[in-house]
Chains A and B, each alone.
Chain A
């Protein structure tokens, strides 16, 4: 125990020093940029290049929220700059208000547009999003050209000149964009520190798994899309004012989107600072290209080649590449699994919401059905994977689901958790019908699952993996901190329970398979489930860990969590589970306590084929009748 604490404090030292160094790395350029106009007041060209870099950084950092964190690439993000610009142009021309006063309105318009488009295209997974964003940009251009009564068509809108004295040149714009860039980075950083941010990365890594741990992927994506447009809309107002003129072709320019995407990619998509670094590089390079390279015509070619080259040769971006190189130069020693911790850890206080206190004390005959599958069927083309199956899990039990490969166990899991929809049948959980609910809502009701082959978010740290799950649908939970606060405390607690405290900051992909299974269990516990579906918890895990896994399951069960376990390790199943349900060809063929199931000829036949079952089952005559009765009984019971 003391060794553990030492390890932790020992690790704090370099982390703290790192944090100090990092703060200086951020603060120094910021201060320099802030004082620059004071030191070099008349260098208009420099101011302009820099303020355009700020503008690009605002856009790239914003873009990164939906396309970097959540992984949904937008190729039409400059549309929101144009929307902000037109908002400013139209309102200030009609009312005479100064554009700076109405700057937030530009952001609001952008967010509304994103909300409308996002709620149509972001409801499902897939690639329609990127396409619709291109369409959005071009559609906005068409509207701006053709709705001339509002936008003055192709002639564009000329705005009033800035009110300040010419002596100030572009300095007010410089500070406007600098301030906005600072706000955008702070906003992006804040998102990363919440469960919302963790959830976005989870969506990027594995959207199906994210939904299974209670992440409302639709809501997350739409909110992220909206969040990625607000500051661009505000910046658009400033940009229109800066140019004092706007027209449809300039405001809704796809090259603008290209520079945004290129910036984020060059710097490092999905990182906080990558898009900022990239924006400065791209802006300065494109300035140089215009000055030395031969103008706009060549710029398209250069952007195209640069984009292709970055994707091919530097897909992670500059910052992550440098970071990796640095890590390889300065390797950290990672300790081996805390086996002692894992195998000897104490009892975990289970936290379950709205649980009736007597749950554990209920005698078996008063138990109620926690999960009921009624006549569920799922077909894949001609193959019937789950065929009119009934299944009941009584509250407080550890129910096993065994059966030969291909008998439909995992498909049944997918139907229960909502990863797939059943073609027919009903699924009831805790008194509610759930078969039409999305996976995350089922998770919020108290249904958790692990996967046959672990599906951790490999690029996230172990701690982030465990913080990501959401136990309920409240916005407060979604926006609570993922780095500090009760959520991360709970995650650490769960990780120490499974013996992985020392790995909290390691990328989950670097763990061994058995360790990943434990992390996945901690992840599920984070959802405070009533019922956990385990898909082969002992598969590919070493024997001592199998015993430990069984102990953990038993311990959690004693505190009231029910289990449905798919497992091929029959000794473990017979030892741990009661009742045992046997599945074959998509439907249950027998159900009963392990002592009966192990001798059931129907089961033996399903597993081993007729030839084996017949001769051996014959002598055990009494066993056969009992088993047959039990099989028949179970059918009659469920069918009722």
Chain B
């Protein structure tokens, strides 16, 4: 019983972090119908940056996200304006290929500059745990979870309470309608892309503590995160949340009752099972056949 509670608690903690990592991906897809395959590479890039800052200045890796987040926001904005915007209007598959190219480029740059070795930021609390009611909660997981949840809450408030957020949501639901009421599609898209990439600032910083990484780990991450948003329904933020929790639970439960080696596979099988029943994912809507175009 304790074992089960332990697995569930840990699964929720991990799921919260996954939710943050996937939120940017699903936001970008929802607004622009771009699958940002480079999202995983951005995360690894930030993790590397955080690790480097932590080593040089001993600043806490999770706190370092106050630096990396605005940095990634700017990076995302510039990237959208200079590169991604060029393929607006071409088929979505082109955006997949372009961002895949970007992911490889980042991996290659990290390979050449930082080398192909595993790294992990290990602050003082790295191996400590909280003990609550007989179960142990690793401190890094707890801190990571708290950071992730507060950023998600902030994101939610931005999307629902600010004009910018409403513009982003309007554009995702009906681009031409949004344009008619004075929301510029290009700036909104740039903004949404930047916000989506900014989540990797926090996400990557948390990642640097929780998971050892090396340049090529982005494949593993992107496939997991894409799995989450396929499971939840592409473009749906609540879907990403639920998908992330399912992945977190699938991982800890397989690790507890089976073997960690199979946990990712179990998650993929869950996705396939869900797609068999609901081909649009848990919270997804079927693409509407547009009447006049």
Contacts and interface: CB of A to CB of B under 8 A. Distances in A.
A420 interface: yes
Contacts of B276: 120
Contact of A301 (B93, B104, B234, B272): B104
B87 A139 contact: no
B223 interface: yes
B219 A128 contact: no
A134 B226 contact: yes
A67 B100 CA distance: 15
A124 B284 CA distance: 12
A356 to B, nearest CB: 33
Given A121-B275, A142-B262, A298-B112, A75 B104 contact: no
Interface in A595-640: none
B130 to A, nearest CB: 32
A305 B98 CA distance: 9
B2 interface: no
Contacts of B106: 304
B275 A128 contact: yes
Contacts of A437: none
A420 B289 contact: yes
Interface stretch (A306-314, A503-511, A555-563): A306-314
Interface in B1-56: 29, 33, 35, 37
A303 B104 contact: yes
B98 A308 contact: yes
Contact of B101 (A254, A298, A304): A304
Interface in B191-234: 219-220, 222-223, 226-227, 229-230, 234
A138 B287 contact: no
B97 interface: yes
Contact of A123 (B103, B272, B279, B292): B279
B177 interface: no
A135 interface: yes
B131 interface: no
Contact of B107 (A134, A300, A308): A300
Contact of A127 (B35, B227, B289): B35
A258 interface: yes
A161 interface: no
Nearest to B290: A208
Contacts of B264: 138-139, 142
Interface string A175-192: 000000000000000000
Nearest 4 pairs of A and B residues by beta carbon:
A301-B108, A304-B104, A307-B101, A308-B101
Given A126-B287, A301-B104, A453-B293, A312 B83 contact: yes
A104 interface: no
Given A134-B223, A139-B268, A304 B93 contact: no
A308 B292 contact: no
Interface residues of A, number: 54
Contacts of B275: 120-121, 128
A146 interface: yes
Given A304-B106, A410-B291, 18 more contacts: A73-B97, A121-B275, A124-B286, A126-B280, A127-B33, A127-B35, A128-B281, A131-B35, A132-B271, A139-B268, A142-B262, A146-B262, A298-B108, A299-B108, A301-B104, A311-B97, A312-B98, A414-B289
A315 interface: yes
Interface in A72-87: 72-73, 75
Given A308-B102, A414-B291, A142 B261 contact: yes
Interface class of chain B by DSSP: helix
Interface in B234-293: 234, 259, 261-262, 264-265, 268, 271-272, 275-276, 279-281, 286-289, 291-293
Contacts of A315: 87, 90, 94
Given A138-B219, A301-B109, A130 B93 contact: yes
A21 B92 CA distance: 37
A125 B33 CA distance: 13
A588 B93 CA distance: 42
A587 B229 CA distance: 39
A30 interface: no
Given A120-B275, A411-B291, A142 B219 contact: no
A71 interface: yes
Nearest to A452: B292
Contact of B35 (A130, A265, A298, A301): A130
A297 interface: yes
A302 interface: yes
A486 to B, nearest CB: 32
Contacts of B287: 124-126
A311 B84 CA distance: 11
A352 interface: no
B250 to A, nearest CB: 14
B107 A304 contact: yes
16 contacts: A73-B96, A124-B280, A128-B275, A131-B35, A131-B229, A134-B223, A135-B223, A208-B289, A297-B116, A300-B108, A301-B105, A303-B101, A304-B101, A307-B101, A411-B291, A452-B291
Contact of A135 (B97, B116, B271, B280): B271
Contacts of B279: 121, 123-124, 128
Contacts of A134: 219, 222-223, 226
A516 to B, nearest CB: 15
Contacts of B90: 315
A419 interface: yes
B226 A254 contact: no
B104 A453 contact: no
B176 interface: no
B105 A308 contact: yes
Given A126-B280, A304-B106, A73 B93 contact: yes
A546 interface: no
A304 B105 contact: yes
A143 interface: yes
Interface string A105-144: 0000000000001001101111110111011001100110
Given A142-B265, A307-B97, A419-B289, A128 B230 contact: yes
A309 B86 CA distance: 12
Contacts of B96: 73, 75, 127, 130
Contacts of A261: 97, 100
A316 to B, nearest CB: 10
Nearest to B267: A135
B111 interface: yes
Contacts of B87: 311-312, 315
A145 interface: yes
A580 to B, nearest CB: 22
B105 A305 contact: yes
Contacts of B57: none
B174 to A, nearest CB: 11
Interface in B47-94: 83, 86-87, 90-94
A440 to B, nearest CB: 14
A120 B29 CA distance: 22
Give the interface centre of B105, B265, B272 by most chain A CB atoms within 10 Å.
B105
Given A128-B281, A300-B107, A307 B286 contact: no
A138 B223 CA distance: 8
A71 B93 contact: yes
B49 to A, nearest CB: 18
Interface string A271-314: 00000000000000000000000000111111111111111100
A89 B204 CA distance: 39
Given A265-B97, A311-B87, A135 B226 contact: yes
Nearest to A204: B91
B219 to A, nearest CB: 5
Contact of A258 (B104, B112, B116, B223): B104
Nearest to A122: B279
